[in-house]
Amino acid sequence: MAWTNEQQAAIDSRKQTLLLSAAAGSGKTAVLVERMIRRLLDKTYPIDITELLVVTFTNAAAAEMRDRVGQALMKALSETKDPRIERQLALLPSAHISTLHSFCQYVIRKYFYTIDLDPTFSIAGQEELNLLRRQVLSDVFLSYYEDEDRAAILYPLADMFGSDRGDDVLMDTVSRMYTYARSLAWPEHWLKASALAYETGPDTSIDDLPWVQPVKDFVQRVLKKDISFYERALYHLGQRDAFSAAYDQFSAEQEAL
């Protein structure tokens, strides 16, 4: 296989961070595998495959990567019969080629005693996590209701953002904020900045507040839609003189909107 110039440059590049971006099927994995193989079989500074950390997004991608490294090693072995290659093949099953989560799990299990964790821990599934999060939210809310000072904060919140049937809606809002914040690099910073958007000084006018324009846009969209309903009602009312009183009434309402 003849590498393209870009691929060759990516394969040969050393002593710097590389970010490769190319379309699916254009040969990124092939380049990565080739880079690994060259490192393993380097004449001057060979390394063992267990010294590499290769992380992927999915288990399927990790399996593919392991498979392709294995194939590349087999191919090299058939060409050179180098005992080093046989050793790499033997080490392949214990190589760190996995999803990032699996690697983290490996590190935690290996060094559990340094963080005082039961090494028989397991990774929770999505359902279990949802239940746990619900439980934690309930506990936090309860801790607020039970404390007089904190209850003074939560009651108005629950009034404004909850529903008459309980705090479920408010809990969902908190939960969504948590999920969104966690997707950002600095979650706490975002939460604090979001709270600042509601801070008002003595001369703050409503239009100074960053969240007002989206609310206005929303209200405007709703009103425009309502106005168009009046349009149709007025058309039908205009067909009969008997409806003229209603017509005037609707017409005035549309004008007001």
Ligand X SMILES: Nc1ncnc2c1ncn2[C@@H]1O[C@H](COP(=O)(O)OP(=O)(O)O)[C@@H](O)[C@H]1O
Under the binding rule (CB under 6 A), the answer on residue 256 touching ligand X is: no
Exactly one of 9, 10, 13, 27 binds ligand X (CB under 6 A); which one?
27
DSSP H stretches of helix in the chain: 5-12, 28-40, 59-80, 83-91, 100-110, 126-145, 148-161, 168-182, 187-196, 212-237, 244-256
Local structure of 146: helix, strand or coil: coil
Q: Which of 3, 11, 20, 29 binds Mg ion (CB under 5 A)?
A: 29
The reply on whether position 3 binds ligand X by CB under 6 A is: yes
Which of 20/108 has CB closer to ligand X?
20
Q: How far is the CB of 174 from ligand X (least distance, A)?
A: 40
DSSP assignment string, 199-243: ---TT--GGGSTTHHHHHHHHHHHHHHHHHHHHHHHHHHTT-GGG
Smallest gap, in angstroms, from Cβ of residue 34 to ligand X? Answer: 9
Pick between residue 34 and residue 167 the one whose CB is nearest to ligand X.
Answer: 34
Contact window for ligand X (CB under 6 A) among 18-26, 41-49, 182-190, 215-223? 18-26
Which residue is at the shortest CB distance from ligand X?
27
> Considering the complex, what minimum distance in angstroms separates the CB of residue 51 from ligand X?
23
Q: How far is the CB of 24 from ligand X (least distance, A)?
A: 5
According to the binding rule CB under 6 A, does residue 19 interact with ligand X? Answer: no
Phi, psi of 197 (to 5 degrees): -60, -15
User: Which residues within the stretch 193-222 sit at the binding site for Mg ion (CB under 5 A)?
Assistant: none
Count of residues touching ligand X (by CB under 6 A): 12
Helix (H, G, I), strand (E, B) or coil at 166: strand
91 touches 110 (CB < 8 A): no
Q: By CB under 5 A, is residue 254 in contact with Mg ion?
A: no
Task: Name which of 29 and 105 has its Cβ closer to Mg ion.
Answer: 29
* Closest separation in Å from C-beta 117 to Mg ion: 34
Residue 251 sits in the site that holds Mg ion (CB under 5 A): no
Site string for ligand X, 120-159 (x = CB under 6 A): ----------------------------------------
Gap between the Cα atoms of 229 and 96, Å rounded? 63
Reference 11, options 41, 37, 31; nearest CA is 31
- Using alpha carbons, list the distances in angstroms from residue 194 to 66, 103, 209, 214, 219: 44, 34, 11, 15, 22
Q: How far apart are CA 136 and CA 138, in angstroms?
A: 5
Distance CA 4, CA 51 (A): 28
Residues that bind ligand X (CB under 6 A): 1, 3-4, 7, 22, 24-30
Residues that bind Mg ion (CB under 5 A): 29
